[in-house]
Amino acid sequence: MAPIRVIFSGATGAVGRNLIPALLATDGFELVGAIGHRDVGRDVGLALSLAGPAGVTIARDFTEANSERPADVLVDFSASEPAASNGLAAVRAGVAVVLGTTAVDRDAVAEMGRLAEERGVGVFLAPNLTIVGQLMFRCSQMVRPYFGDVEIVEAHSSTKRDAPSGTALETARLLNATSAPPMSTDSTSRGLPESRGAKVGDVRIHSVRLPSLYSRHEVLFSRPGEMLTIVCDQFSTEPLVGPTLKATRLILQHRGLVVDLPGLFDPDN
């Protein structure tokens, strides 16, 4: 079977430093392109200080990266603006997309989905590609029917551009979609309203940004006399590698915009 040809966007970022070596080393994948805003024109292997050249030059955008060896899948862990433009260019070219970047413009995502349907390829919108993140989603949905009050605290490095995080927003979406008892009355009427966080449906989200943090999410459930807290910590980009490679395989079996890939987070036997 021919390997899956992959273009990776965000080549010199934190995720790229783990995923590009994995793509180069894993059977069934061929890295045919890399996109980044640093080291453009340089071999990605040298830019990442790998053992040697990878034979792939860092390009400015998808069109340039796809010009010599056309891809099957674009994997994107970049920033919201280039993720939108490169994702749209990919689906127009009939290339599937695994979109790991968060805070991408909603209209751009909707257009990707429309074009993907038209071109017969899949676009996977992935707010969190870690096992702990997915378990937090599932556990939160399981707990929600017992608690009327819930708030989220998410903490990331001060280099993160979007707030709240995509993971916090997805958690809030799932909580809002799950039946729960009535909320208690919030009697806050004085002080700074912003201190109560952003309200997403019935869920408040509080974002912390400090240089010493990486990624932490807390979902705090409360009812009279008791609390339950779900804590999700991620300390590096390494946990993204396995699920992203698996998503890259699975998205080729789908068409249009998908937010769930059946089997993606099933335990490997």
Q: Please give the pLDDT value at position 167.
A: 95
Domain assignment present for residue 146? The answer is yes
221 and 137 housed in the same domain: yes
9 and 120 housed in the same domain: yes
17 and 48 housed in the same domain: yes
Q: Total domain count for the chain?
A: 2
In order of 18, 44, 45, 76, 128, the CA distances from 49 in angstroms are 12, 8, 6, 21, 27
88 and 29 housed in the same domain: yes
Q: Is the separation of the CB atoms in 149 and 221 below 8 Å?
A: yes
The helix/strand/coil state of 107 is helix
Q: Please give the pLDDT value at position 55.
A: 96
Domain assignment present for residue 268? The answer is no
Domain assignment present for residue 150? The answer is yes
Domain assignment present for residue 176? The answer is yes
Domain assignment present for residue 265? The answer is no
121 and 152 housed in the same domain: no
178 and 251 housed in the same domain: no
> Whole domain around residue 188: which residue ranges?
131-234
Please report the beta strands in the chain, taking only residues with DSSP state E, as ranges in sequence order: 4-9, 29-35, 58-59, 73-76, 96-99, 122-125, 149-156, 198-200, 203-209, 215-223, 226-234, 256-258
Domain assignment present for residue 89? The answer is yes
116 and 8 housed in the same domain: yes
Domain assignment present for residue 263? The answer is no
Q: Please give the pLDDT value at position 209.
A: 98
15 and 107 housed in the same domain: yes
102 and 15 housed in the same domain: yes
82 and 141 housed in the same domain: no
CATH code for position 210: 3.30.360.10
Which residue among the candidates 156, 206, 217, 246 is catalytic per the annotation?
156
Q: Please give the pLDDT value at position 79.
A: 92
205 and 144 housed in the same domain: yes
110 and 152 housed in the same domain: no
CATH code for position 98: 3.40.50.720
Q: Per-block average pLDDT, block size 10, for the chain (269 residues)? A: 95 95 97 96 96 96 95 96 97 97 93 97 94 95 98 96 94 97 93 94 97 96 97 96 96 95 81
d(CA 72, CA 30): 10
Domain assignment present for residue 121? The answer is yes
Q: Is the separation of the CB atoms in 112 and 87 below 8 Å?
A: yes
Query: 160 an active-site residue?
Result: yes
